[in-house]
Amino acid sequence: MTSSTDSTSLPSPTRRNRLWWSMQVLVQVFVSSWMGYRTRGLEHLPAQGGALLLVNHRSFLDPLLAGLPIHRPVSYVARHNLFFVPFLGPLLNRTYVIPINRDAVGTSTLREIVRRLDHGFLVGLFPEGTRHSGPEPLGTLKPGFVSILRRANTPVIPIGIAGAERVLPRGTIFIHPKPIRVVFGKPIPREQLEPLCARGREEDLLEFVSQRMAACVTEAQTWLSDRG
């Protein structure tokens, strides 16, 4: 498999390639007019420099929905077996995606994530690991995510998406014209996370990050319910 981690050089972290830009423009027109897609908090994203974007996960559309309004490429982390899917695999390779084995996060993946952050990329993660379908704003964050937080010397930006699971419900392949709201939360500076990254404080770190992410999801859900 040829993956994004095989390259020794990295593209610009602030300029989208032609494929990314083209897909973004087409999807923006579609979701804005047909679904009533709205966002707030974009001012919290840095114009340059790396940042770790932590997104809640309820739909396969979440990577598109979180990255749609951002005028920089986002290097998402996705399941390694997706790279073997016809058409999808080559697409992932050309849109900055980093493969990861969720059952055994290797050091090479961690190094690649840190390398891209140091290079100035926005790196997008779904810390729940899989789609959440419960009534709570957020599912349980996976412990393996702690290793990434400890190595990332960049701010963390929580992102909450509401409505995506109604646009593409589980078990369906058809998109429904339902409204979507996305909230970009205030950055969590590295200095604030540093004490929680100490050994023995894993639960405190996960709880803190979970609360910040859940707050963004709740805000997006409230905004969605108050629309009109």
Which of 3.40.1130.10, 3.40.50.300, 1.10.630.10, 3.40.50.1260 would CATH assign to domain 39-225?
3.40.1130.10
Return the closest-CA partner of residue 12 out of 49, 42, 46: 49
Q: Are 173 and 193 in contact (CB under 8 A)?
A: no
- 119: phi then psi, degrees, rounded to nearest 5: -75, -15
Return the closest-CA partner of residue 184 out of 139, 122, 128, 132: 122
Q: In the chain, what is the greatest distance between 2 CA atoms, to the nearest angstrom?
A: 49
Q: Rounded CA gap, 35 and 180, in Å?
A: 7
pLDDT value, residue 117: 95
What's the one-letter identity of residue 50? G
Q: Rounded CA gap, 182 and 185, in Å?
A: 10
Return the closest-CA partner of residue 152 out of 103, 184, 176, 119: 119
Q: Are 58 and 161 in contact (CB under 8 A)?
A: yes
Please list, in sequence order, all residues whose beta carbon lies within 8 angstroms of the beta carbon of residue 201, skipping any fewer than 6 positions away.
Answer: 195
What's the one-letter identity of residue 68? L
| Sign, CA torsion 4/46/221/209 | positive
pTM check: above 0.75: yes
pLDDT value, residue 120: 96
pLDDT value, residue 105: 59
Which parts of the chain have pLDDT scores under 70?
1-8, 102-106, 227-228
Q: Rounded CA gap, 111 and 116, in Å?
A: 9
Q: Rounded CA gap, 16 and 205, in Å?
A: 33
Gyration radius of the chain over CA positions: 17
Domain ranges of the chain: 39-225
